[in-house]
Structure 1
Amino acid sequence: MLIDRLKSRLTKDRPMTSITLRIPVDVVESMKAIAPQRDFSGYQALLKSYLSEGLRRDEAQFASHQQARLIEALKRQGVSEEIIEAAERELSAA
């Protein structure tokens, strides 16, 4: 579930891996200039922030899309609007 994945990202002792990216020099220079303005220690921390922001946005978008598809499928199966709304309220309260 998306919420569980997001919660697990809050732990500081997650396994890490190293990767290699080829990024244009001018982009790296721009990140180096912007990082201190956004209170980051360096461009790599800024890059991680950009990746995290984009990933969270995409995951939320896709989760929302999946939820909408599930609701439509439940309606086609004859699940009442009241039951679906109650389930959504229950999930929101969790």
Structure 2
Amino acid sequence: MKVDALKQRLSRERPMTTITIRMPEDVIEDLKRVAPLLGFSGYQPLARAYIGQGLRADLERLDGDTVSALVASLKRHGVSDEVLQEALSEVIQR
């Protein structure tokens, strides 16, 4: 994730929207029980944290899949492993 996007995600001033989601009652009760033990003010912030964690993991995985596909395509077009490693090193150092 790029630095600017990460800064936006960490901002407390991000706009919020209300949604309705149906969840089993026992899951809500477990969230209510666990939330204060993990330092959350309530079950809704904890649920948002869980959703955010899963979303970030999937976004990272999907972005990684794109990079892998690009590297494979470049190899098929004759780009050497040395050039690919050098380019990836430059990107990681940013």
TM-score by length of 1: 0.89
Write the distance in 1 (CA, Å) between the matches of 2:71 and 2:28: 44
- In structure 2, the gaps of 5 or more residues are none
Equivalent pairs, count: 93
Residue 25 (structure 2) aligns with: 25
Runs of 4+ in 1 over 3 A off after TM superposition: 4-7
Using CA pairs below 8 Å that are at least 6 residues apart, which structure has the higher relative contact order? 1
Deviation at 1:66, TM superposition (A): 1.0
Residue 62 (structure 1) aligns with: 62
Query: Percent identity at matched positions?
Result: 43
Residue 83 (structure 2) aligns with: 83
Give the match's secondary structure for 2:10: coil
TM-score by length of 2: 0.89
RMSD of the TM alignment (CA)?
Answer: 1.4
- In structure 1, the gaps of 5 or more residues are none
